[in-house]
Amino acid sequence: MKPFDLGKAKAGEPVVSQRHTSRNYVPARILCFDALGQNPIVALVKDEIDGEIEVVERLNLSGISAYYTLFMAPVKRTGWIICRPWLLSSGNYNLEPAYSVLFPTEEKAREAFGGRFDDYQIAKVEWKE
């Protein structure tokens, strides 16, 4: 999990919270960054058991309170790669990347490859950062 980043959180990027007694991460919604006192961040945190809004928690600028720590939520990314299928001894096919280039869209991958898809395929790849 990525550490809490105040600038990114202020820009609206999603945030998750972890209760110190748990290993689970739940969505958190920051209400404000400028509350009076030592702990200026006020956030709503979902209860991990029943999903209800559990706490209005005050956190310091590092995203840490007595019971919760904020983290940046993982962001799902998508890309496309050009692959060549290899026939396995079992009769199944295995896709192996033909080039070490990750394209942002399927159309960009098709344009870059020039339309020669006799022995190649375009595969969608997804990951979390």
Q: 9-26 pLDDT, tens per residue?
A: 999 999 988 877 777 888
pTM above 0.75, yes or no: no
Tokens matching residue 109: 């991958």
Domain holding 104, by residue range, is 76-128
**Which pLDDT belongs to residue 6?**
87
Of 30, 52, 72, the residue that ends a domain is: 72
Encoding tokens for residue 116? 């020669």
Residue 116's pLDDT is what? 63
**Same domain assignment for residues 68 and 80:** no
pLDDT computed for residue 57 by the predictor: 63
Identify whether residues 7 and 55 lie together within a single domain. Answer: yes
The pLDDT assigned to 79 comes to: 94
Render pLDDT for 50-95 as a digit per residue (tens, 0 to 9): 766 766 566 677 777 767 888 899 888 999 988 887 778 888 877 7
Residues 63 and 110 in one domain: no
What is the model's pLDDT at position 56?
58
- Report whether 70 contacts 16 (CB < 8 A): yes
Q: What is the number of structural domains in the chain?
A: 2
Structure token pair of residue 124: 């969608």
Same domain for 63 and 84?
no
86 within 8 A of 94, measured Cβ to Cβ: yes
pLDDT in tens, 100-126: 788 999 888 888 777 666 677 888 999
Per-residue b or e along 20-36, where b marks 16 or more CB atoms closer than 10 Å to that residue's CB: eeeeebbebebeeeeee
Verify that 86 and 65 share a domain, yes or no: no
Statement to judge: residues 80 and 66 lie in one domain:
no
| In a shared domain, residues 38 and 82 | no
Residues 51 and 104 in one domain: no
User: Do residues 64 and 26 both lie within one domain?
Assistant: yes
